[in-house]
Amino acid sequence: MKPFLLIFCWIFTLLSVHSQDKGSISGKIIFNDEPVEFINIGLLGTNLGSTSDSLGHFHIKNIPVGSYQIIASGIGYETFKENIEIQSNLTTLNINLKEGETTLAEVVVSGTMKEVSKLESPVPIEVYTPLYFQKNPTPALFEALQIVNGVRPQVNCSVCNTGDIHINGMEGPYTMILIDGMPIVSGLSTVYGLNGIPNSMVERIEVVKGPASTLYGSEAVGGLINVITKVPSKAPVFSVDVFGTSWAEINTDLAEKFNVGKSTSMVGVNYFDYSNPIDNNGDGFTDLTNTKRISVFNKWSFGRKSNKLATLAGRYVYEDRWGGEMDWTPAYRGGDEIYGESIYTERFELIGNYQLPINTENVMLSVSLNSHYQNSVYGDVPYLADQKIAFGQLIWDKEIGNHDLLFGAAMRYTYYDDNTPATRIGEETNGTNNPENTYLPGIFVQDEITLSPVTKLLLGMRYDHNSQHGNIFTPRFNLKWAPNRNNIFRFSGGTGYRVVNLFTEDHAATTGTRNVIIAEKLSPEQSINLNLNYQKFVHIGSSILSLDASLFHTRFFNKIIPDYDSNPSQINYSNLDGYAISQGFTLNTDLSFSFPLVINAGITLLDVYAMEEDEDTGDLTREEQYLTEKASGTWTVSYTFDKSKISLDYTGNVYGPMKLPLISEWDERAPYSPTYSIQNIKISKAFKNGLTIYGGVKNLLNFTPAKNSIARPWDPFDRQVEYDGEGNVLRTPDNPQALFFDPAYVYTSNQGIRGFIGLNYIFGH
């Protein structure tokens, strides 16, 4: 027995000593004072790790005593790192995560018009924070969106550089722009609305690709972009961002927060100045529009005893932009001596949200007012327009059992007046002015049904009565099935409609020398859409890969397509005799490593066309849509050196060929744009006092469109162009291609490579 007893004591001693060389660590993962689940926690250089549970708790056992670096990472959060000492006992560590570039835990409102976690939303929504757009600093959100997959800022005029936003191949008029959920930017202001929003005031941007007419009504057929501004109480006390480029562009963003009693206010100012005419392509015209713009934004959050919401925000924008021949000055404005396109824009906006003082119910009243005045000339052609929109909406959010109900009533009034045939009765010389007044009351209901812990069904319908087009009904449904946290399926379908005002949406109708022909009374467009979305999260060690893929199909009826080909000197508008299709596939990927490297990449494949009835045979023929790429991609690659706090950001996009509008059958310009890529690089250095300095290069490849983007730039008033009796351009020895002055052959900016440098300072964040 004695040898056996000695062996037993020896083994027990070894086990005791071994157990004393082990420790453990436990704690809780928190973001904004809330627990976070499914966060990976690990010790660098080991296979030891854990995942936080539904209460945010984690526990790692059997850790050899020693020094380690603990890492916590999750999609949408900055990777947490900290050095720790493991002793032969329990170590407790609570981890507070910081917001990353996109946050799945982010509360979103655009898909269902109520606050819901992005992961829980039955509607697929993409969320982008200012951190994402700071990878490529821009003076306007219009330009910033060029690194969002499936979203393309489209320049519509080579001279004045106005543009719109294309989502999944749909033209700008199909995209609705919201500020804090209000349809502030629409109609006349679509091409200017994303300019002049101070970046310092933006909390996040929500993008919904695909129709959202059921909740938001007309104009949300292709998708919507909702700019959510900061809550004043959570904004920094003071912030400033200033940068300039080697093209002599200067952009300044200032913001300040202050308290008045129980209320908090923040004021933001954006000023942009580019007054440096450049003509690198040698066509005699400015490559980039000269612009001076100032925007002032003020938002108040009022303290109430009930702690219910009450906010009021206002924005004022003034912009003076011109493009044209290099020797143009304001003295030539509106004349036919030297060609220039000059646009003065003045805009006011007011947005208010008030949660009614009903203790047991959540009822929200939202109102907005905006006034947009535009005084513009295109050569010697004036375009004067005035638009005012008043909007009011009442929403009641009610939960009953497993039903999350939303009831709403909205009223929208639009006043529009201009100096074109759109608002005139009779001839131009002796006609009478007839401003357009449109009333659009509507009601909608939505029911989000929790069928099981993993399945949600959303049913919605909307009824509107347009004072010009009558009754419009738009139903929809969304189904979300998430068998587990790492796999989410969403399927949606519904209908949409859109009422069109050509002169407020199609810049080609007011520039160049084409005559606008409206052959018939235009009916509203209607659409039927289907969308299948799949989200997948893959844990690769301490790294996480996020996949977000969608298949979409939209069929349009009564679609209004501008006809540039039947008569090159005209733009003919009519409802399509047939149907149009917009379909495709999009994939977004996000890869976050345990070390400070983040890669975001996306690809979109499009098939957009119209099946139009042939006038002679009656057969349907396929027509490819102009200015629509079949394939595109975007990427951002970011790396931060921990010790030096130096960051590198490499961003870019690539676009496949697009069909371009030629003027005549003898037009020798390329019928399709080339495949092209715009790439940028930025380096920044962050200091502990809140100061960041940065610099870099935009358009690294120095890509610019062909030098002949403007047809006949040497004859902008068409003095040497000859026409036949029907208004068609004749081929002459001086004009063998039968061209006339036209700046519509454009798909991207003429601005080439340039350097930039700037600084950002945040105090009291």
Look at residue 688 in the predicted model and tell me its pLDDT.
Answer: 86
Question: Cα(111)–Cα(225) distance, rounded to whole angstroms?
Answer: 11
Residue with tokens 């066509």: 283
> What is the full DSSP assignment across 629-653?
-SEEEEEEEEEEETTTTEEEEEEEE
Look at residue 510 in the predicted model and tell me its pLDDT.
Answer: 47
Structural element, H or E, at residue 142: helix 141-144
Backbone torsions φ then ψ of 646, nearest 5 degrees: -100, 130
Look at residue 16 in the predicted model and tell me its pLDDT.
Answer: 45
pLDDT tens-place string over residues 406-430: 999 999 999 988 887 767 776 666 6
Domains of the chain as residue ranges with CATH:
20-96 (2.60.40.10), 229-763 (2.40.170.20)
Chain mean position to CA 412: 23
pLDDT tens-place string over residues 84-104: 888 888 888 899 987 665 445
Chain mean position to CA 696: 23
Look at residue 165 in the predicted model and tell me its pLDDT.
Answer: 86
Give the residue among 220, 187, 218, 573 at the shortest CA–CA distance from 415. 187
Look at residue 429 in the predicted model and tell me its pLDDT.
Answer: 63
- For 396, counting Cβ atoms within 10 Å of its Cβ (0-12 exposed, 13-18 middle, 19+ buried), the class is middle
Residue with tokens 């000055």: 329
Look at residue 6 in the predicted model and tell me its pLDDT.
Answer: 46
Q: What is the pTM of this model?
A: 0.84
Q: Are 625 and 565 in contact (CB under 8 A)?
A: no
Look at residue 10 in the predicted model and tell me its pLDDT.
Answer: 42
Residues in the chain: 765
Question: Cα(69)–Cα(43) distance, rounded to whole angstroms?
Answer: 6
Question: Cα(23)–Cα(283) distance, rounded to whole angstroms?
Answer: 74
Question: Cα(217)–Cα(462) distance, rounded to whole angstroms?
Answer: 8
Look at residue 632 in the predicted model and tell me its pLDDT.
Answer: 98
Question: Cα(765)–Cα(758) distance, rounded to whole angstroms?
Answer: 20
Residue with tokens 């404005």: 333
Pairing of strands 151-155, 40-43: unpaired
Q: Are 609 and 581 in contact (CB under 8 A)?
A: yes
Look at residue 516 in the predicted model and tell me its pLDDT.
Answer: 61
Where the chain has pLDDT below 70, the residues are 1-20, 38, 45-47, 75-76, 99-108, 110, 114-115, 117, 185-193, 213-214, 218-219, 422, 426-431, 500-520, 542, 562-573, 765
Look at residue 249 in the predicted model and tell me its pLDDT.
Answer: 98
Structural element, H or E, at residue 144: helix 141-144
pLDDT tens-place string over residues 32-77: 778 887 687 888 766 677 778 778 888 888 888 888 888 887 766 7
